[in-house]
């Protein structure tokens, strides 16, 4: 049988990609990410990170538009400047997989996993600093509102009263915006995501390293037991070594997860079980 006949090719849900929206927002606006008892970064490293982050954002956008060659160029620039940028390595692994450069894809998915904790620390520290800044801004706005309302109570001139009311409205709108942002929780993302293991497994699969692929899919399913494509690929692996009961077990789970099942694959398993 041709390897991977019923294999689920690389189908990563882009909505599950670890997209550094908070980092992008803060870094592109020049907010430092230093703080007591938090992740510390010296100024030189911070400047490199800012530069790399711009390339990551560009590369990620190009990747989502399926402009893979240009995305690759931007993301390779990102990791050249900041080698620990795990998300850039993760997307590069997917691009190189699509371009059938499997050994290089393997290097990038290894790097993505190895550096994930480092980048997680940066993200968490950055968001904590961001939330602190919001709270400080909120306190200043509340004090400003108190003074404006006192001023309004003493104002008799219609023109002055209108200006004060406008200022109050503006401050209240800013407070409302801060309240909506301040409710965001610090992400708990210290664990390498299931998608990283899934991509790793697919790369091994295409390199015909089936035992290694099997282990990566198992790790995927430890984190996300309903990962449909990983379940399907486990079924395929077991089918290839004639373990049809296990193949059916995993394919049934894949079908229950909602992933699209290859009907011919299901029929092949059932026929094999009848023999």
The predicted pLDDT at position 56 comes to: 96
- For residues 3-20, average pLDDT: 57
Place 36 in a pLDDT band, splitting at 50, 70 and 90. Answer: very low
Residue 183 has pLDDT above 50, yes or no: yes
The string of pLDDT tens digits covering residues 216-263 is 999 999 999 999 999 999 999 999 999 999 999 999 999 999 999 999
- CA atoms of 245 and 83, how far apart (whole Å): 44
**Do 26 and 107 have their domain in common?**
yes
- For residues 146-166, average pLDDT: 91
Is 111 a member of any domain?
yes
Mean pLDDT computed over every residue of the chain: 85
Is 188 a member of any domain?
no
Residues ≥6 apart with Cβ < 8 Å to 218: 234
Of 63, 117, 124, which is closest to residue 91 (Cα–Cα)? Answer: 63
Place 120 in a pLDDT band, splitting at 50, 70 and 90. Answer: confident
- CA atoms of 60 and 7, how far apart (whole Å): 26
| Total domains present in the chain | 3
**Do 142 and 201 have their domain in common?**
no
**Do 77 and 23 have their domain in common?**
yes
**Do 175 and 218 have their domain in common?**
no
Place 28 in a pLDDT band, splitting at 50, 70 and 90. Answer: very low
Which of 68, 93, 117 delimits the end of a domain?
Answer: 117
What is the token pair recorded at 241? 């070594």
**Do 18 and 38 have their domain in common?**
yes
Domain with 51, as residue range(s), is 14-117
The predicted pLDDT at position 211 comes to: 96
Which of 144, 159, 182 delimits the end of a domain?
Answer: 182
**Do 91 and 141 have their domain in common?**
no
pTM: 0.74
**Do 71 and 161 have their domain in common?**
no
The predicted pLDDT at position 9 comes to: 72
Place 43 in a pLDDT band, splitting at 50, 70 and 90. Answer: confident
The predicted pLDDT at position 63 comes to: 97
Residue 11 has pLDDT above 70, yes or no: no
Which of 182, 203, 219 delimits the end of a domain?
Answer: 182
């Amino acid at each position: 049988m041709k390897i991977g006949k019923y294999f689920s090719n690389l189908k990563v849900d882009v909505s599950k990609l670890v997209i550094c929206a908070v980092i992008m927002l803060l870094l592109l606006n020049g907010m430092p990410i230093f703080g007591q008892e938090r992740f510390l970064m010296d100024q030189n490293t911070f400047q490199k990170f800012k530069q790399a982050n711009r390339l990551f954002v560009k590369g990620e956008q190009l990747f989502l538009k399926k402009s893979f060659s240009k995305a690759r160029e931007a993301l390779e620039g990102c990791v050249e400047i900041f080698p620990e940028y795990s998300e850039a390595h993760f997307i590069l692994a997917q691009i190189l997989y699509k371009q059938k450069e499997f050994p290089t894809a393997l290097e990038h998915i290894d790097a993505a996993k190895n550096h994930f904790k480092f980048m997680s620390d940066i993200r968490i520290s950055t968001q904590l600093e961001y939330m602190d800044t919001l709270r400080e801004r909120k306190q200043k706005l509340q004090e400003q509102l108190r003074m404006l309302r006192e001023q309004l109570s003493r104002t008799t001139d219609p023109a002055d009263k209108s200006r004060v009311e406008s200022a109050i409205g503006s401050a209240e709108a800013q407070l409302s915006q801060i309240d909506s942002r301040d409710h965001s929780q610090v992400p708990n993302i210290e664990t390498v995501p299931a998608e990283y293991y899934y991509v790793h497994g697919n790369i091994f699969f295409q390199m015909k390293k089936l035992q290694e692929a099997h282990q990566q899919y198992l790790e995927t399913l430890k984190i996300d037991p309903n990962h449909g494509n990983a379940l399907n690929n486990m079924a395929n692996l077991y089918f290839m070594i004639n373990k049809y009961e296990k193949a059916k077990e995993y394919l049934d789970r894949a079908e229950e997860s909602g992933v699209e099942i290859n009907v011919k694959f299901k029929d092949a398993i059932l026929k094999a079980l009848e023999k």
